């Protein structure tokens, strides 16, 4: 095992393309210790670092272009920081996915696509026991078969056995249907472990490639998915006059109990100051309705806007909160509500400019982008538990216990406790 932050040995990991730290957080919750985090952009790195202030002396954070980094140089800098040489147990990372994203332009020639192979170059140079590669489901599209086959051939040439799966974050307690394509590789394990999945999606690649080396018996799945109401009810404040820094509602159900900060502080929860016209337009949206479903006089060209369902997980959170209208309030969701939907605890604070638009998005990485681009920590934790088993380690059962609680919760009782009715007719009425 690797470097310790206490007397208890913990397996070590390096996070490439770490962003704001969602994937790292999941591995930390599964009792891994990060020793190095790399990202090209300083904004999410600030969030990453400030949420780990207690680990500052034990974590090497590199604001550098991965294309200029060499594996031996990273290992030397880690050894210098810790004053001893260590083997790295795991490398995790999700290279930029805009070229493959189902919501993007899906440009096969996007230069960021090449960062996939920079990830595997560092796998070759650092030689971890296990790696975890995360990306968008769009990589499974037929048009990218050549890219995917090249990835698989590269992994095999590096001496790793591998398995791959399409995981839905909602299966592991995330209140959001967010699919992610995961590859796990190991130098020595014959079996590749994944968390249990509720339903296998149909895909030529997923269904027709032999994956007999994969097992699914580490982490259970949530039978009844966590809903938007369960995730957000305790912080459902109506407008700017109610922007809180303290909770005014007690947790209602296991998700809120798990995610409210015990210090009773609430950050990144500033509602947008909508115009009268915008608020009136939002009042026309019923749950699940998009722009095309409202009266024509209220429509704009922004077709991606939709009101969330209260009693369902949300659709995939993106880096634009303007597309998500609160299930019962006539406003878009806040950054903290986005973070809840991504399964970040309220103690995890995001830094930098809250939002940016237009060409400025190319130069900065605002809080909305940091949250929207994240790997949900609960999904990462489920994967980390599988990696622990492959390393021959036991589990702290934190995630399993949480999922067991979710599977035994009474959703109707939570709704009754708040004395609310979540039918479409009971949406917050429009007022000035």
Both 79 and 200 in a single domain? Answer: yes
Active-site entry in 36, 97, 189, 320: 97
Question: pLDDT at residue 105 above 60?
Answer: no
Q: Is-catalytic flag, 97?
A: yes
Both 263 and 370 in a single domain? Answer: yes
Both 176 and 50 in a single domain? Answer: yes
Both 306 and 369 in a single domain? Answer: yes
Q: Residue 99: what pLDDT?
A: 56
Q: Calculate the CA 172 to chain-centre distance.
A: 12
Mean pLDDT of the chain: 88
**In CATH, what number is assigned to the domain containing residue 371?**
3.90.120.10
**In CATH, what number is assigned to the domain containing residue 207?**
3.40.50.150
Both 285 and 306 in a single domain? Answer: yes
Residue 320 resides in a domain: yes
Q: Is the CA virtual torsion 41, 341, 200, 253 positive or negative?
A: positive
Both 164 and 186 in a single domain? Answer: yes
> In this predicted model, what pLDDT tens digit does every residue of 310-335 receive, in sequence order?
999 999 999 999 999 999 999 999 99
380: left (phi over 0), alpha (psi -120 to 50) or beta: alpha
Question: pLDDT at residue 97 above 80?
Answer: no
CB-CB neighbours of 140 under 10 Å: 21
Both 205 and 258 in a single domain? Answer: no
> In this predicted model, what pLDDT tens digit does every residue of 347-359 receive, in sequence order?
999 999 998 776 6
Both 355 and 395 in a single domain? Answer: no
Q: Residue 137 is part of which domain span?
A: 12-222+377-399
Give the residue carrying structure tokens 């996007």. Answer: 110
Both 144 and 209 in a single domain? Answer: yes
pTM given for the model: 0.92
Give how many domains the chain has, as a whole number. Answer: 2
d(CA 13, CA 78): 11
Residue 5 resides in a domain: no
Both 241 and 371 in a single domain? Answer: yes
Residue 416 resides in a domain: no
> In this predicted model, what pLDDT tens digit does every residue of 191-214 receive, in sequence order?
999 999 987 666 656 665 667 889
Both 153 and 42 in a single domain? Answer: yes
Both 17 and 148 in a single domain? Answer: yes
């Amino acid at each position: 095992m690797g470097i310790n932050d206490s007397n208890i040995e913990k397996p070590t990991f390096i996070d490439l393309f770490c962003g704001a730290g969602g994937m790292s957080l999941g591995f930390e919750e599964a009792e891994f210790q990060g020793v190095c985090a790399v990202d090209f952009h300083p904004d999410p790195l600030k969030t990453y670092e400030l949420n780990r202030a207690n680990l500052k002396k034990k974590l090497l954070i590199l604001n550098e272009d991965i294309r200029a980094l060499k594996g031996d140089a990273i290992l030397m800098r880690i050894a210098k920081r810790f004053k001893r040489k260590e083997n790295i147990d795991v490398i995790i990372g999700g290279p930029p996915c805009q070229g493959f994203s189902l919501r993007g332009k899906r440009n096969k020639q996007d230069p960021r696509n090449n960062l996939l192979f920079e990830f595997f170059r560092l796998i070759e140079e650092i030689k971890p026991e296990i790696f975890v590669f995360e990306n968008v489901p769009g990589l499974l599209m037929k048009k990218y078969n050549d890219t995917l086959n090249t990835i698989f051939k590269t992994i095999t040439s590096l001496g790793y056995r591998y398995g791959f799966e399409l995981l839905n974050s909602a299966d592991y307690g995330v209140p959001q249907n967010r699919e992610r394509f995961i590859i796990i590789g190991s130098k020595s394990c014959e079996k590749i472990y994944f968390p249990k999945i509720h339903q296998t999606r149909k895909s030529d690649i997923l269904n027709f490639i032999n994956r007999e080396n994969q097992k699914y018996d580490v982490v259970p799945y949530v039978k009844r998915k966590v809903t938007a109401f369960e995730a957000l009810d305790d912080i459902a404040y109506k407008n700017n006059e109610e922007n809180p820094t303290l909770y005014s509602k007690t947790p209602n159900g296991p998700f809120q109990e798990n995610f409210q900060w015990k210090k009773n502080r609430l950050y990144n929860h500033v509602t947008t100051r909508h115009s009268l016209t915008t608020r009136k337009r939002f009042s026309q949206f019923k749950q699940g309705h998009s722009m095309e479903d409202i009266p024509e006089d209220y429509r704009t060209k922004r077709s991606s806007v939709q009101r969330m369902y209260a009693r369902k997980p949300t659709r995939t959170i993106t880096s634009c909160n303007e597309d998500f209208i609160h299930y019962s309030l006539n406003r878009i969701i806040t950054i903290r509500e986005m973070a809840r939907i991504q399964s970040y605890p309220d103690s995890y604070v995001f830094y930098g400019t809250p939002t940016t638009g237009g060409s400025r998005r190319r130069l900065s990485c605002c809080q909305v982008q940091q949250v929207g681009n994240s790997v949900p920590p609960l999904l990462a934790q489920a994967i980390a538990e599988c990696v622990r088993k492959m390393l021959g380690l036991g589990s702290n059962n934190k995630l399993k216990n949480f999922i067991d609680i979710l599977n035994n919760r009474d959703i109707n009782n939570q709704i009754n406790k708040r004395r609310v009715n979540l039918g479409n007719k009971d949406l917050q009425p429009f007022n000035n």
